[in-house]
Amino acid sequence: MHKSAIETLQKWLKELEEKGDYCSIGFNTDWTDLEGYERGELSWRRNRGNGGFLEYPIVVDNKVNTVLNNVDEMIIPHGKEMADGISPTYEQCKQQGHLPRRMIDLVIPHKGSPAYFIEVCHKNPVSKEKLKDLSECGVECILEIDASWILKQVKRPEVLKFKRILFPCWDEQGNRIGAPFRDCSETNLITEEIRRGWDEARKKSPFFKSEITA
């Protein structure tokens, strides 16, 4: 189910990219925050035309940073001559001397850089251990979508439904505080830090648009 859901999501995104260079898709949630937020839009410029990178390796070392740059430009396995929009496997990264810290189910790039990090979950959410590693590598936002919801759709939906949207929290000096990520859907965690998280994410990725619906 997990693999099929990831491939289906990529297929939807590829269909959008086939329509033109500038792509977007709305999203909603089944919760709202204290500001009334419950929906928004993902927007990006077609980069590889592949609907995003599957099984994207997160590598951050003294030579490579796949959080800031597309992995297929950073790590090119032997036998390949150039970037082709396909993620190198875990083993291919190791062969090139770059050990992935984690793998992300699907990453949507924009202008040579990863824009959206998406995890497709079946029974369990992204583990705390994985979130900690991703946070330490500099990932600024995790979008979590339910595999069963994807597979229940009879055609590409006009709007995606995210199960969780996770942002790190910052103090007034811009340093991360507390847990690696905060879940915006848990009302007991919806604080000013969460709102600051949204603001910081928009600064870092201007193509993440949100709407206030209250």
pLDDT in tens, 122-131: 888 899 899 8
CA 103, CA 130: separation in Å to the nearest integer?
9
Q: Which domain holds residue 7?
A: 2-212
Q: What contacts 15, CB < 8 A, 6 or more positions away?
A: 51, 156
pLDDT in tens, 110-124: 888 999 999 999 888
**Cβ-count burial 20-39 (b if 16+ within 10 Å, e if not):** eeebebebebebbbeeebbb
Q: Which residue has the tokens 């619906």?
A: 213
- Mean pLDDT of the residues in the chain: 80
**Cβ-count burial 139-178 (b if 16+ within 10 Å, e if not):** bbbbbbbbbeebeeeeeeeeebebbbbbbbbbeeeeebee
> How many distinct structural domains can be found in the chain?
1
Q: What contacts 47, CB < 8 A, 6 or more positions away?
A: 70, 85, 109, 110, 111, 112
Which secondary structure element, helix H or strand E, spans residue 24, and what is its range? strand 22-28
pLDDT in tens, 4-16: 999 999 999 999 9
**Residue 214 banded pLDDT, cuts 50, 70, 90:** very low
